[in-house]
Structure 1
Amino acid sequence: MIIILILVPLGNTLAFADEPFALPEEASSTLNDTSPTSDALKAEFDCLIKDLFIKRNISIVSGDCEGLKDFYDLNVKVSQYAYESEVKKAQYLMNWSGKQSVVFKNLDSIVKVRKVKEKEPGLFGVICDVITEFNYYYTDSPQVINTFRLGTNHYLNLKKTEDRYIITKEWYTDPFADSLNLNNIKTEEVKKYILSKEAPAYTSSEKVQKAIDYAHTYCGASTDENFIFKYNSSKYKNHNPDGGDCANFASQILHEGGGLKKNGTWNYAGKNGTKAWLNAQGFKGYMLGSGRGSSIAKGSYQQVYKAAYNMRPGDFVAYERKGRIVHISTVTGLDSKGYPLVTCHNTDRLLVPYDLGWSNENITFHLVHTHY
C-alpha cells in the first residue's frame, strides 16, 4: 500500500519550557472524542504508520532521501515543502554524524496509535506516539554500538482512495526542526578531538544512580516495556500543555531520584510547582544561586565541547537562545568516547548526545555540575 505525505512540522515547540504547546484544534477534537476506536481500525493504521517510519529511518541511515518521495505528492506545494523539510532533517543528521565521526547503523521505531476518528467519509484523524531508537558507532571502533531514543507525538490526517491512503496532513513534535545548522562548527578540529577521547572510569554514587534510574524510567522513551510512553503521572502533572515539562522532569530527577529536599523556593505540591521547579530559566538560576549546582562552562558548542567531557551523570545542560534558557536536560550517561548523553522531556529523550538538535549558532550551552 502506498502512502503520500503532506507534512507540517511543529518544530521544537515542546522543547522550550516557556513556550506552550497546543495540538491543532482538529487534533484536540480527535483526542477528546470519547467514542471507542475499534481494534481492527487501530491495527490497520498501526501497520500503515509503522511502514511510514521504516522508510524514514532507512533514509536517515542511507543518506538517500529518494525513497521518501513515495510518501509525498510533489505536485502539491505544501507537500513539496514538507518533503524538502524531511530532506533537510535527514541531511542534518548526516552532517551531525560527520561532525561526530559516527555512523548510524540502524534505526527502529515503536508506534502506539492512541486514537483514530473518522472525521468524514474516507478521511481519518490519527493520533500516535512514536519512539525511535538510534544506533551508532564511532568510525575508529565500529564494533562498539551506542544507542539512544527519541520520543515524538504525531497527529495525521489520512484520506482513503481506491487503492491507498494519502496522508494529507501531519503535525509532530520535531526535536530537530529549529536547530539544523552546523555551518558554524569547525568539524575537522572537533572530529579529531572526539576520536582522541576514551570513556573515563567512573562509578556513580548511590544518590546519582537513583537519579539516573528515575530519569530512565519516567522519560517517556524508556527501554522498560512497562514504562514506554509513560511519565510519573501519579505524582506529577504533565506540564507540556502549560508551557513545557523539561524543568519539571529535571526537578523530579533531583528530588525523587537524587534525594534533594524541597524548600520554599524549589517546591512541588498538589500537581503544581514553583518557578524554580517548573521553569527552565528559574531552575537554572536556582541551582546556581543556591549552591546546589556550579558552572563547568558556558558558550557556543565550539567553546564548550572540550569542557563537556568534564560532565558526569547527574549534571545538567541548560540551553539558552536569545538570552533566555529554553530547555533543561539531565546528563544520565556517557557514550563509548565519554561524550555526555542527556535524558529529558519534551521532546522525550533517553541517552541522547547533548548537542544533537541544538546546533544553531544562536544556542548557548550552560554546562552545570550538580552537588548531590
Structure 2
Amino acid sequence: MNKFSKKLTTALGVAVAAFTFINGTGYAAGSIEFTNSDTINSSYNRTNAVSFIKSYAAKPGYTTSPFTSYGGNSDGGDCTNFVSEVLHLGGGLGFHGTKGNNSNTVDWYYYGPHVPPSTQPRTSSWTGAHQFREHWGVVNGGGGKKAYQMIKYTNKDAVSSYNEIYSSLWNGDIIQYVDATGHTVHSQVVWNFANQTMNVAQHSTNDRYWGLDMGLRTELENRQDQGGHVVLLKIKKSGS
C-alpha cells in the first residue's frame, strides 16, 4: 500500500477530506493561492530531504561552510536557512536566479553569508521567512510561485481543518506562519506522518525549539487564538 492509500484509510473523516483533495474539488477552509504544472520541481527527492532533516534538525545543525550564517535582520533567520538547506542540500533542488542578484521572486541561492553585492552572496529569500514565501509562494497576490501549490488557512481554520492538511501534505513540504500584520514569521518542514500524527522539524534563534519532535496539530492549536495565517507550500505534486 502506498503512502497515499495509507492516508485515505486512517479514518472516515480523513478519507472524506482526502477524497475531496484527490478529486480536485478544493479545500473546505483553505484557500488555494495557485497551482503550477504537475512537473514543477519533479526532481525534488523527498526521501533524501527527510534524511537531511533527521541528520541536521538538532543542534548543531549543518555546519559545513558556507551555509552556517543566516543573517540577523529582517532578511535572515535560522528557521528559513534550515528549510532552504533541506530543499537544496537534502532534496537536491538547484539554485534559482543569478548570482549577485537579490530579487525575492526570482533569486534563491547561497554562496556565502552576505546579501549582494558581496562577492559571497546569499539571497534574502534563502534566509528570510517572508522573502522565502514571496519566492516559493505569493505575498499579497504576487510572488515567484516556485512551489507546486500554495494553500492558506486562518490560524483558527487550520485547527479545525487538520485532517484536510494531513491529507494534502507530504514529507519535505513547507509550513509557514504569518502574523496578524501579514508578515511571515516562521518556517517548518514536514518529515514524518503516521496514524493521524504529522511531525515537523525546525530551527530557531531560541535553542529550545530545535529538533524533530514537534507535532503539527499541537503547533496549530498553540496558534489558533492568534490573528494570522498558516501557509502550506507543496514543493511538488507527487508524494514520492
Query: If the TM-score is normalised by the length of the shorter chain, which range does it land in?
Result: 0.5 to 0.7
From 115, 120, 123, give the equivalent of 1:274. Answer: 123
Paired amino acid for 2:111? A
For the pair 1:285 / 2:134, whether they are aligned, the reply is yes
**1:11 matched to which residue of 2?**
none
* Aligned counterpart in structure 2 of residue 371 of structure 1, from 232, 236, 240: 236
351-360 or 341-350, which deviates more: 351-360
Q: Give 1:292 shift.
A: 2.4
Instruction: Name the residue aligned to 1:215.
Output: 53
Match of 1:342 among 200, 211, 227: 200
* Aligned partner (choices 189, 192, 199) of residue 330 of structure 1: 189
Equivalent AA in structure 2 for residue 219 of structure 1: A
Aligned positions of 1:64-75 closer than 5 A: none
| Residue pair 2:80, 2:128 contacting (<8 A) in 1 also | yes
Q: Deviation digits for residues 49-74 of structure 1, max 9, x if unmatched?
A: xxxxxxxxxxxxxxxxxxxxxxxxxx
Match of 2:85, SS? Answer: helix
Q: Which runs of 4+ in 1 moved over 4 A?
A: 193-198, 240-243
Mark the CA change 1:306 to 1:333 in structure 2 (over 3 Å): closer, same or farther: same
Q: Is residue 353 from structure 1 mapped to residue 226 from structure 2 by the alignment?
A: no
Question: Judging changes above 3 Å, is the alpha-carbon distance between structure 1 residues 194 and 328 closer, same or farther for their aligned structure 2 residues?
Answer: farther
SS in 1 for 2:165: helix
Instruction: Report the Cα offset of residue 320 of structure 1.
Output: 0.5
1:239 aligns with 2:88: no
Residue 270 of structure 1: how far off its partner (Å): 1.9
* 1:64-105 per-position Cα deviation (integer Å, ceiling 9, x unaligned): xxxxxxxxxxxxxxxxxxxxxxxxxxxxxxxxxxxxxxxxxx
Distance 2:194 2:12 in 1: 12
Distance 1:206 1:324 in 2: 27
Report if the CA contact (8 A) 2:155-2:225 is conserved. no
Deviation for aligned residue 1:284: 1.2
Equivalent residue runs for 1:101-112 within 5 Å: none
Percent of aligned pairs sharing the same letter = 24
Are the equivalent residues in 2 in contact too, given 1:312–1:340 (CA < 8 A)?
A: no
The answer to whether residue 227 in structure 2 is matched with residue 362 in structure 1 is: yes
| Contact 2:171 2:190 (8 Å CA) reproduced | yes
Q: What letter is aligned with 1:270?
A: G
1:256 maps to 2:98: no
SS of 1:268 mapped into structure 2 = coil
Tell which structure's C-alpha radius of gyration is larger: 1
1:317 to 171, 175, 189: 175
The offset of 1:290, in angstroms, is: 3.4
- 1:294/1:363 Cα in 2 relative to 1: closer, same or farther (>3 Å)? same
* More strand as a share of residues: 1
Deviation, structure 1 residue 344: 1.0
TM superposition score normalised by structure 1? 0.40
TM-superposed CA distance for 1:294, in Å, is 1.0
Q: What is the Cα-based RMSD across aligned positions, in Å?
A: 2.8
Match of 1:10 in 2: none
For 1:275, the aligned partner's letter is S
Whether the 8 Å contact between 1:311 and 1:340 is mirrored in structure 2 is: no
In 1, Cα distance between the equivalents of 2:12 and 2:62? 38
CA contact (8 A) 1:341 1:351 kept: yes
Could you give the per-residue CA deviations for residues 155-198 of structure 1, whole angstroms, max 9, x where no partner exists?
xxxxxxxxxxxxxxxxxxxxxxxxxxxxxxxxxxxxxx989558
* Mapped pair 1:308 → 2:150: no
- Pairing of 1:1-372 with structure 2 (within 5 A): 197=14, 207-220=45-58, 229-235=59-65, 236-239=67-70, 244-264=77-97, 265-272=107-114, 273-288=122-137, 289-303=144-158, 304-309=161-166, 310-322=168-180, 323-337=182-196, 339-346=197-204, 347-354=209-216, 355-356=218-219, 357-371=222-236
Letter in 2 for 1:231: G
SS of equivalent to 1:368 = strand
Structure 2 unaligned regions, length at least 5: 1-9, 19-42, 98-106, 115-121, 138-143
Could you say what secondary structure the match of 1:262 adopts? coil
Which structure has more RCO (C-alpha within 8 Å, separation ≥ 6)?
2
Alpha-carbon distance in 2 for matches of 1:213, 1:368: 20
Aligned residues: 166
Contact 1:293 1:369 in 2 (8 A): yes
Q: Where does structure 1 lack aligned partners over 5 or more consecutive residues?
A: 1-192, 221-228
